[in-house]
Amino acid sequence: MALYSEVVMDHFTHPRNVGFIEDADGVGQVGNAKCGDIMKIYLKIENDMIVDVKFETFGCGSAIASSSMATEMIKGKPLSEALKLTNKAVAEALSGLPAHKMHCSVLAEEAIKSAVKDYYDRNGIEYDHTQFPDCENCAHCHE
Partner 1 sequence: MQVYADNAATTKMSKAAIEAMLPYFDKTYGNPSSLHTPGQEAKEALEDARARIAGCIGCEPREIYFTSGGSEADNQAIRSAAYYGARKGKKHIISTAFEHHAVLHTLEKLEKEGFEVTLLDVKTNHNITARQVRDAIREDTCLVSVVYGNNEIGSLLPIAEIGEVCKQAGVPFHTDAVQAVGHVAINVKQENIDLLSLSAHKFHGPRGAGVLYARRGFPLTNLIEGGAQERGKRAGTENLPAIMGMAAALEEACANLEDNQKKVTALRDKLVAGLSKIPHCAMNGDPDHRLPGIVSFCFEGIEGESLLLLLDAQGIYASSGSACTSGSLDPSHVLLAIGRVHDVAHGSLRLSLSHYNTEEEIDYILETVPQVVSLLRNMSPVWRDLQNGVRQYIL
Write out the residues near partner 1 by the rule CB under 8 A.
1, 3-4, 9, 12-13, 15, 18-20, 29, 33-40, 55-61, 63-64, 100-101, 141, 143
* Neighbour tally for 90: CB within 10 Å: 26
Nearest to partner 1 of 19, 76 (CB atom): 19
CB of 74 to partner 1, least distance (A): 18
CA distance 15 to 33: 21
CB of 63 to partner 1, least distance (A): 8
CB of 134 to partner 1, least distance (A): 19
CA 116 vs CA 6, 94, 96, 99: distances in Å: 30, 23, 26, 27
Active site residue 138: no
Q: Exactly one of 104, 135, 138, 141 is catalytic; name it.
A: 104
Contact status, residue 113 vs residue 87, Cβ threshold 8 Å: no
Residues facing 58 on adjacent strands = 38
**Catalytic positions, written as ranges:** 35, 104
